[in-house]
Amino acid sequence: MVCSICDASLDMGVSSKRLYGYSVCGTCHSSFAMKRAFAYILDTVFFSILAVPLTLFILLLSGISGAAVGAATHNDNSAGNMAVLVFFMCFFGLLFLFIAKDGFAGHSPAKAMLGLQVIDDLSGRPCNFWDSFQRNLPPQIPLVHWYILYQLLQYDGRRLGDGWARTKVIWKPYRDKAPFLSRKQLQAQLAAKTAGKTSV
């Protein structure tokens, strides 16, 4: 038996784990899990840094919008309401962008840097913004991060959110290896093998 990623032998003395239902060596499992964890940390840092100037811009835009409406209507209530409306629209837009960060053809900034991609588990297409929004909702719940980290290190690669979004993270240099293939690709491989055996 060999590792489904690096093809190293999984003899009795070598630790093996499961990744998306396939046996892999402990080294590949740990490397993949740590890449994913590090990507999440990097993305959080990127967006935290980006949030400071964006928040200032949102506050400025809210103030300008409120002032413009106030000048046009000569009504302080309308000005205040507009400022609050613009602030909350921009704030929730920024929050959506963070939660849906994997929607850029299956990449967040850090995932793109680290060679990871989120795909639809059934078709293999890159994750879109709606898929990303669904899969990244659970980590927004306080303390769920620790459970997700435990899942990544101990389980088969799927984490909270991947189930209902039907997504999985792949390691792009090994995208042709069995653990990272979509169900459609696996079915096509199986059909090709079956056809080959039948024709012999």
What is the structure's pLDDT at 35? 94
Q: What is the mean pLDDT of residues 60-85?
A: 72
Q: Is the pTM of this model over 0.75?
A: yes
CA–CA distance, 114 with 122 (Å, rounded to integer): 23
What's the pLDDT band for 141 if we cut at 50, 70, 90? confident
Q: What is the mean pLDDT of residues 159-172?
A: 91
Q: Coil, strand or helix: which one is 37?
A: helix
**Domain residue limits, the chain:** 16-191
How many Cα atoms sit within 13 Å of 92 on the Cβ side? Answer: 5
